[in-house]
Structure 1
Amino acid sequence: MGSAADDVDGFESLYPFLAEAEGDANAVLTEVRRSTVDKIGEITRLRADLLGRYRRQIVDCAAAMARRFAVGGRLLSFGNGGSSTDAQDLASLFLHPGPNHRALPAIGLTSDIAVVTALSNDVGFDVVFARQIAAFGGRHDIAVGLSTSGNSANLLRAFDEARYRGLLTVGIAGDRGGKMAESDSIQHLFVVPSSSVHRIQEAQTTLYHALWEMALLELAALDDEGAADVPGDPR
């Protein structure tokens, strides 16, 4: 364990304005306010950057997702750590979309802790999502994986399995995309260009909410048109 001095040094590196204020409450509040405003400005610029980069792809991806749902497809979402929480949130959006929208089938692949721990313990953590996709995934389904680094081995294995089985594959990564940016198994990849895990996750949340809302709108339009069977989407 680290010493008390190490703990203080770590605290000061994260929150220098608290250490430097020397008990001046007004100075602390001023610096907290400045820090908050800076972070708001950063995420606002990042979201605008994402829209500029991916406007067309967001529309195309949402339309592809809607076509899968229209023929009975399900969404399978997955991620590690904080990204697993986002993956579960994404699934819950489709399962409980609120008034005026029908619920759609979606599964967060970290929700069943017995399955996750059994696969991790008996087989290996690298296959914890791929094995579930192999069991649950069908050719009309959608696989959405989230990662801040883009380097998670279990996500890469999951995308390979999903693509092999004909699922629509959607990746949401951060920084420069990591190994996800090199994968041939991801049809729609969105990369949040930031080195801050906090800002990446905030922007990713905005991105998948946009995909969810636009997919619902596209699906409503397909329902109005009386869409029948939909062939597999091209790469």
Structure 2
Amino acid sequence: MSGVESLYPFLYPSADEEPEGETAREQEVFAEVRRSTREKVAEIAALREQVLASYADDLVTCAGEMAAAFAAGGRLFSFGNGGSSTDAQAVAEMFSAPEDPGAGLPAIALTADVAVLTALSNDVSFEVVFARPLAASGRPGDIALGLSTSGGSTNVLRGLAEARRRGMLTVGLAGYDGGRMAEVDTVDHLFVMPSSSVHRIQEAQTTVYQVLGELILRALSCPGRPEGDPGSPG
């Protein structure tokens, strides 16, 4: 046995097994995959409902403040590490390139600038890869949105701290119990996904920033709505 067969032997019949149809081992593997998939789907559905129920009012308040910042000419800077860096880029894309071409908002993912990231990592420290760009470009009235599944990523925390020093509105998305991001005066708005699974945390964070995006775009499309009241998240 070699190649792919050596990597996934349970998918291939042995010499003493019938070549046609599923073997008992295959049936067992597929049954386990189906069970695991159903379990994961149930977990993320429950976590998303829990998070949205816990933060319904906070999401409306945060969206209202973010909408007001955008309306006043503010820009959004998003950032995070690993999978959260991909989410940071998704956040920026969601605002800068929405389905309605006329509703685009200024949003930048700090993780997209590889030259700056690698220069700062190589020449200074990886801990400042978000703080330095915010120090250079951030201004009062802008928005900083940091994502960290642990809530303890030093470079994300330093970026948020720099944003607060510059008078920016700060929003944090974390997992577990919020980590260091949950400490007092770290961010203006914090949304914690209460899970120990990085996968579930990131899936729930996706729901949170998509809800924020929908509320913000809805608020900006209804300029007569009172500030801080972009409407119901439902």
C-alpha change, 1:154 and 1:183, in structure 2 (3 Å) is farther
Unaligned runs of 5+ in 2: 1-6, 9-22, 228-234
Residues 130 and 157, structure 1, Cα contact 8 Å, conserved in 2: yes
Q: Which runs of 5+ in 1 are unaligned?
A: 1-7, 12-21, 228-235
The 1-side partners of 2:201 and 2:105 are apart by: 27
Aligned to 1:60: 61
Counterpart contact for 1:76–1:108, Cα < 8 Å: yes
Partner residue in 2 for 1:51: 52
What is the percentage of aligned positions where both structures have the same residue?
57
Q: Which whole-Å CA distance do the structure 2 matches of 1:45 and 1:226 have between them?
A: 32
Q: How far apart, CA to CA, are the structure 1 residues paired with 2:197 and 2:205? A: 12
> What's 2:148 paired with?
147
Provide the residue aligned with 2:3 in structure 1: none
Structure 1 counterpart of 2:35: 34
Letter in 2 for 1:112: D
CA contact (8 A) 2:139 2:166 kept: yes
In the alignment, is the contact (CA less than 8 A) between 1:192 and 1:203 conserved in 2? yes
Q: CA offsets per residue over residues 91-143 of structure 1, 9 Å max, x none?
A: 00001101265111000001110000111111111111001111111111100
Residues 184-225 of structure 1, C-alpha deviation per residue, up to 9 Å, x if partnerless?
A: 130000000000000000000111111111111111122x56
Q: What amino acid is aligned across from residue 113 of structure 1 in structure 2?
A: V
What SS does the corresponding residue of 2:104 show, helix, strand or coil? coil
**Offset at 1:174?**
0.3
Partner of 2:170: 169
**Residues 1:161 and 1:149: Cα distance change in structure 2 (over 3 Å):** same
1:106 alignment counterpart? 107
CA contact (8 A) 1:126 1:154 kept: yes
> What's the Cα RMSD here?
2.0
Q: What's the offset of the Cα at 1:82? A: 0.5
- Which structure's CA Rg is the greater one? 2
Distance in 1 of aligned mates of 2:110 and 2:137: 10
In 2, Cα distance between equivalents of 1:98 and 1:85? 20
Q: 4+ residue stretches of structure 1 with deviation over 2 A?
A: 224-227
Paired residues in the alignment total 208
Corresponding residue for 2:214?
213
CA distance in 2, matches of 1:75, 1:207: 16
SS at match of 1:60: helix
**TM-score, length basis structure 1:** 0.84
Distance 1:62 1:174 in 2: 20
What TM-score does the superposition give when structure 2 sets the normalisation length? 0.84
Question: How far, CA to CA, are the matches of 1:90 and 1:62 in structure 2?
Answer: 14
TM-superposed deviation, 1:79: 0.1
